[in-house]
Structure 1
Amino acid sequence: MSKVWKRWIPAAVVGVVVAGAAVAVPLSAGAAGALPTKSAEEVLALVAGSSVTGFSGTVEQTSDLGLPSLPAGAGSASGSSEGSSDSSAAAASSALELLTGSHTARVYVDTSNGAGNLRVQVLDQLAERDVIRSGDSLWLYDSAKQTAVHATAASTSAPDADPTSPAETATPQQLAQKFLAAADSTTDVTVGGDVTVAGRSAYDLVLTPQSGSTLVGAVSIAVDSATGLPLRVEVTAAGAADPAFSSSFTALDLSTPPADLFSFTPPAGTTVTEKTVPSGAASTAPANPAQEQYAHVPDASKPVVTGSGWSSIVEIPAGSDSSALTSSPLLAQLTTPVAGGNLLSTTLLNVFVASDGRVFAGSVPAEALEAAAAQ
């Protein structure tokens, strides 16, 4: 599948299992009217047992990593075609947009009765970008560029292999699943004080990596007390007091959205690119569970995940025209030249773009990315 769907903060649907995690004693319930006290194990079980199959809401995402904001939609690659000379640069721009400023999106989900319906509307100034997935059909639409990509799966044998959303708008549920999957025996899991998100009471599940090989200091997940649905995810960098990244529902409706929201007809004048996902693309389970979200991508362009948990590094192979990426003015503006390439360094995520066009990213020190590139 096109680089359009490569995500730098993966949002794959994965099992909520924290094997061997160090589970600490919860804090006391506190004042009258507070939620019943639950241990970290009980809150994890609440998430794992969530039976929410349909909802709609508004998600606000903010990033404060010390980078200048990019214009809304600057990273959109909806109109990129396979083999396009600027597709690598567009994908990199989309990834950089994730790390800057704020984004607001309307999200609609319906997984009842086996349906895999999803609609995400990213609200830009005087424009919007949409992802609409209904069964084996996937649309990506950019109103500003009047372009759309329509992908059709040749098989629906793995409906959860491609929970696609724009790179910059992973929902709290998707992010929570990613971070819970990263937690391991080096992670302290605790329960903080009660919180309120989108008008709903929630438990504050806190993941604190104890390994010194990650830039992540802590991840706070607000878990809806009634349904187990993650409502907010905040990520704080090591040594920092305030979150560097947040994705939160500001409004939430737990009723199933109308079916017509998952139908899409391109407006008149839209340039449409048609694609087909190979039927066997997601049939083989990858050796590394962290690579599940890339199971549908052809081997020639499939990202490679090395390491595990908080220390994972994602390598994106060089595109057919890597010079479009390495010569990008945006890359030069936001990165620092280093031996062998360019480095984008933030408090929470480092990205190393090798001179041959390969890209390495992870919440790890820059030296780890450079070492991975040298191997």
Structure 2
Amino acid sequence: MTTMRIADSLKRFLRPVYWWYHRQWEHHLERKRRLRKWREIVFPLGQKVYLIGTPSHDNLGDSAIVLAQKAFLKSCGWEEDRIVELTDEDYARDWERIRKWVPKNGFIAQLGGGHLGNQWRNEENLHRRQVSAFAKNRNVIFPQTICYLPGEDGDAEGKASTEVYDGRKKLTMVAREKQSYDIMTSLYPNTRVLLTPDIVLSASMDTFGAKQKRREGVLLCLRSDKERSLPVEERENLEEMLRSKGIAFGYTDMYSGQKVTKQSREMQVREKMEELASARLVITDRLHGMVFCALAGTPCIAMSSSNHKVRGTYEWISYLPYVRYAKTPEEVERYLPELLAMENCRYDNAPLRPWFDKLAEVVRKDAHN
């Protein structure tokens, strides 16, 4: 009995001691983590370019944008150790420190994509925060789709966005399709706006380390999120049409099903691109499903999503004979024989280079002034 009382007394005494030391250890690790992050942002001394909020979610189109944007920055003269990537987890944990640690000569290269507007609020807020926090820094928002869904909320958010984006002398906004360009120039007449294709179209399969594959079968790469516009009945009709023609098909999506890290990003994007490169034909309503096919030389029929970005991006690459845009399943059926017969297709972005050159000129000028 005495031994048990002594043991209980020791436990009561040692438990708070243990937790005190545990908390001290956690504080120590957190201080070390913050020190590493500070060094990453500040050193080496001199001008650097910052990509803030790179995604860890499993949408591989967004991951491809990060890789292509980094490659584009390198082509503009930025060395690897001058490109600082801060992930969405860094942003969530350390935003107040990041905004203090990024120097005034830091060049902010905001991520391209389809985030501007009231459809993807977290991403839109990230862009607004960077513009406001780094008002004295050179700041470029890489090619973006902007879309304010109709209704009071869309109108109100569009007006609110002008307070953030309009009149910023050190900000350049880049639209990735004509409709987005028209919206931006209308909402933000006092801010420089460029028109440039999706940044992934400036890349090639080599950018992602992807290889050509033996082609067979048809892949359906269709949305299931809030940008989905193809009704279930039309999707079923599409599948039945393929079956009636004896065309074997499978399913894929632009999601990896797992978290994306800095270390795994290139591998995951490469695997998805090679999957699409292994098909004889891809039918997709995903913008980067279409873009991956363009880079891979995979015949592709693109269909619209709930906004203008797929159609607008297709207009850039409509010169590619192996990519077609269909408004209805009937048009998909009409394009099938032509595209299934195509072989040895190759991506050539020469018609797009003048547009990328304009962006490169701004990046070089802004980054080194």
TM range (shorter): under 0.3
- TM-score when scaled to structure 1? 0.24
**TM-score scaled to structure 2, two decimals?**
0.24
Of Structure 1 and Structure 2, the greater strand share is in 1
Query: Greater share of helix residues, 1 or 2?
Result: 2
